Amino acid sequence: MKIKKIFLAGAISAATFAAAQFRQTPLPYAYNALEGSVDAQTMEIHYTKHAAAYVANLNKAIAGTPLEKESLEKILSHISKESPAVRNNAGGHYNHELFWTVLTPEKNTQPSPGLAKAINDSFGSLDALKEKLSKAGADRFGSGWAWLVVTADKKLAVTSTANQDNPLMDIAEVKGTPIFGIDVWEHAYYLKYQNKRADYLAALWNVTNWKEISRRYGETIK
């Protein structure tokens, strides 16, 4: 199947889009590309409604402020000083931009040798890491994310955050650079899985993009 790219449509006006500090990256696969794990309707709504709203509201929240000239990562690094609107929408935009890239229709991708060694050193095996990440997602009360991060000492760690927080934020309990994030908000899975979050988490391993996660790992430990 030829994979097409999906572009943002209708989230913000053309004039606003042209002037926006932040924009959605085109989805790197068709809405139905992950069928079996993520259904097309969920993917379309998730990308064009939920994620699009985060970036539009972020641009609105920072309009006319010095934050317009800062990178997203910089904003997150001092998020405790910002308004709830900036915190929620900057986190939501960053988290979703990462999320799309760590999923793929390509089958049976594998961690790079370097990442595989780091996983084995930190968790014992890839299966053990999957179990730990799935548990972090399943145990997150309410809405939030489960994360695989590289800490400041270049070690791997699993953590979770509430709502649209992430480990780049200065308020995070476990800080680090995310290389894999799993969205456990109900809008990410409810149409297909209803209240069965564990089934959704298990299905995501069939579409996990270990090539991209490995690339992020390599960039982070340089």
- CATH number of the domain to which 73 belongs: 1.10.287.990
In a domain, 158, yes or no: yes
- For residue 14, the model assigns a pLDDT of 37
Domain identity same for 125 and 187: yes
159: left (phi over 0), alpha (psi -120 to 50) or beta: beta
In this structure, the answer to whether residues 141 and 212 fall within a common structural domain is: yes
Does 140 lie in the same domain as 68?
no
- Residue 140 tokens read as 């997150």
CATH of residue 208? 3.55.40.20
Q: Is residue 39 part of a domain?
A: yes
Looking at the fold, whether 132 and 84 belong to one and the same domain comes out as no
Compute the half-sphere exposure of residue 46: CA atoms within 13 Å on the CB side of its CA.
Answer: 25
pLDDT at res. 200: 98
Number of domains in the chain: 2
Confidence band of 2 (pLDDT split at 50, 70, 90): very low
Looking at every residue in the chain, the average pLDDT score rounds to 92
Q: How far apart are CA 217 and CA 222, in angstroms?
A: 9
The letter for the amino acid at 189 is: Y
Q: What is the pLDDT of residue 6?
A: 37
HSE-up of 138 (CA within 13 Å, CB side)? Answer: 14
Percent of residues, the chain, with pLDDT higher than 90: 91
75 with 121, same domain?
no
48 and 131 share one domain: no
Higher pLDDT, 5 or 94: 94
pLDDT, tens only, 145-193? 999 999 999 999 999 999 999 999 999 999 999 999 999 999 999 999 9
* Residue type at 11 in one-letter notation: A
In angstroms, the first-to-last Cα distance of the chain is 36
Helices (H), the chain: 14-19, 40-45, 52-62, 72-77, 84-101, 113-123, 126-139, 190-193, 197-204, 210-220
Q: Is the pLDDT of residue 135 over 60?
A: yes
- Tokens coding 84: 């709830």
Neighbour tally for 143: CB within 10 Å: 14
Shared-domain flag, residues 212 and 174: yes
pLDDT-derived band at 20 (thresholds 50, 70, 90) equals low
Any domain includes 86: yes
Band the pLDDT of 142: cuts 50, 70, 90: very high
83 with 159, same domain: the answer is no
Contact yes or no for 53/91 (Cβ under 8 A): no
Is 39 annotated to bind a ligand? Reply is: no
- 149 in Cβ contact with 179 (< 8 Å): yes
Give the model's confidence band at 4: pLDDT under 50 very low, under 70 low, under 90 confident, else very high: very low
Q: Provide the pLDDT for residue 12.
A: 37
Q: What is the pLDDT of residues 69-122, one digit of tens each?
A: 999 999 999 999 999 999 999 999 999 999 999 999 999 999 999 999 999 999
For residue 112, give the H/E element and its range.
Answer: none
CA distance linking residue 92 with residue 163, whole number of Å: 8
Whether residues 117 and 216 fall in one domain: yes
50 annotated ligand binder: no
Residue 93 placed within a domain: yes
d(CA 122, CA 125): 8
Q: Same domain for 119 and 206?
A: yes
Query: What are the two backbone dihedrals, phi and then psi, of residue 189, each rounded to the nearest 5 degrees?
Result: -145, -10
User: Do the annotations mark residue 139 as ligand-binding?
Assistant: no
pLDDT at 156: 98
Per-residue pLDDT tens for 28-59? 999 999 999 999 999 999 999 999 999 999 99
Residue carrying structure tokens 């309009």: 63
Residue 133 sits in the same domain as residue 211:
yes
pLDDT of residue 25: 97
Residue indicated by tokens 């309707």 = 41
Among 101, 136, 169, where does a domain finish?
A: 101
In-domain check, residue 192: yes
Identify the domain containing residue 29 by its residue range: 14-101
- Asked if residue 93 belongs to a known ligand binding site, the reply is no
- Domain membership of residue 2 (yes or no) is no
